[in-house]
Amino acid sequence: MARFRYRSVPPAGAAATGEIEAPDSAAAVAQLQSAGHYPLEVAAAVLASGNAVSPAAAAPSRSGRALPIAAAALAMRQLATLIEAGVPLDRALSLAADLMQGSPASDCLQRVRARVMAGEAVSSALAAEADAFGALATAMARAGEASGRLGQALGIAALWLERSRDLGQSLRSALAYPLVLLGVSAFAIVFLLAFVMPRFAAMFGDMADRLPWSTRVVLALTDALADHGPFALAALILAALAVRWHMSWAAGALFWHGLLLRVPLVGELVRKREAERFARALSGLVGAGVALSEAAELARATLVNQAIAGATAGLSGRIREGIAPATALAECRCFPDAMIGLATVGEETGRLAAMLEQAAELHRREVEVRANRLLILLTPALTIGLGLLIAAIILSLLLPMLGLYETIL
């Protein structure tokens, strides 16, 4: 048995310090949690075993070997299943790589196996591939190593990746029809203005003063497209590249992501999507025995929206100061009330991880419902609006021709 020095938040709410005896750091964290405490720091786990998870150690390595989330989820699930089945780690990595043959994930798993065979811990090997599997997988692997439940911990990481993949696929599927509709309509409008209208412009040349105002507007648009279309297209491409370049900087990403949160309907959708992502990651880490302050920092690394990530920058520090988790989450002012309420219930009942998982599921369903509702409104609006626009262009061609026909008669 070893002794571990800790800081935690007991049920009374004030930060407490002390020492505890346990076989390892994970057992120390489990003992504190069973007593109703929320671990803030377990100092001896870092000094004695080196198995405690630290945000710095689990941070992405930026190796540039990013994987599609579907491939990462499948690779992590296969690896977790093999380890849970009792397959030795090196063999599990080799089998998982073979099962993913032809996928970039196979190469990533082979590199992880090579590091493990060289004597590295699997968590360190995964940290070298953090751009492929994410910081959460590294953190869960460290927690699994400390607790002796590596397969279970990697299974939680796989579940997080799978839920993120499923929600992303659901949103992309819902957006497919409106995007196709928008693209086809834009092509039809450009075709009419660039190729059809110029033929009629020559026909209407002698009667320009007698043309209906709608026809004159369409002809003006046709001339503008012919004269300035290439320059406008180049300017649009340059603007898109400039925005992308600006977003590659921290300040730029913060600006554009903050702007996105202020867009009606879309902003709330993004906020709930990030809440689902954060709650699911935090639930998995806390459930695996990671100290709450460290789990909060690691879960923060999974956030995509930099405005929300910035708002949670002080979360782990506030928890270390002894602030209750739900209170610290509320102070961020970026998470939905439902998530704060469920976190409060989790504190009171000693089931914080389970309640955070419930919050994640709640927000996942809300994101799907809101996205479908938004698309239900958007699709007919696009159909009617673009249909009217195309009809107006065609009508602007027919009106002068009808007038010319009446004159001949």
**Tens digit of each residue's pLDDT (9 = 90 or more) over 14-42:** 556 778 888 776 677 777 777 776 555 66
Could you give the 3-state DSSP secondary structure of residue 39?
Answer: strand
**Tens digit of each residue's pLDDT (9 = 90 or more) over 348-387:** 888 999 999 999 999 999 988 888 888 888 888 888 988 8
Largest Cα span, the chain: 107
DSSP characters over 212-246: -HHHHHHHHHHHHHHHHHHHHHHHHHHHHHHHHHH
**Tens digit of each residue's pLDDT (9 = 90 or more) over 223-282:** 888 888 889 889 999 999 999 899 888 888 889 999 999 988 888 989 999 999 899 889
More reliable by pLDDT, 173 or 201: 173
CB within 8 Å of 127: residues ≥ 6 apart: 57, 58, 59, 61, 138
User: Is the alpha carbon torsion for 109, 111, 113, 116 positive or negative?
Assistant: negative
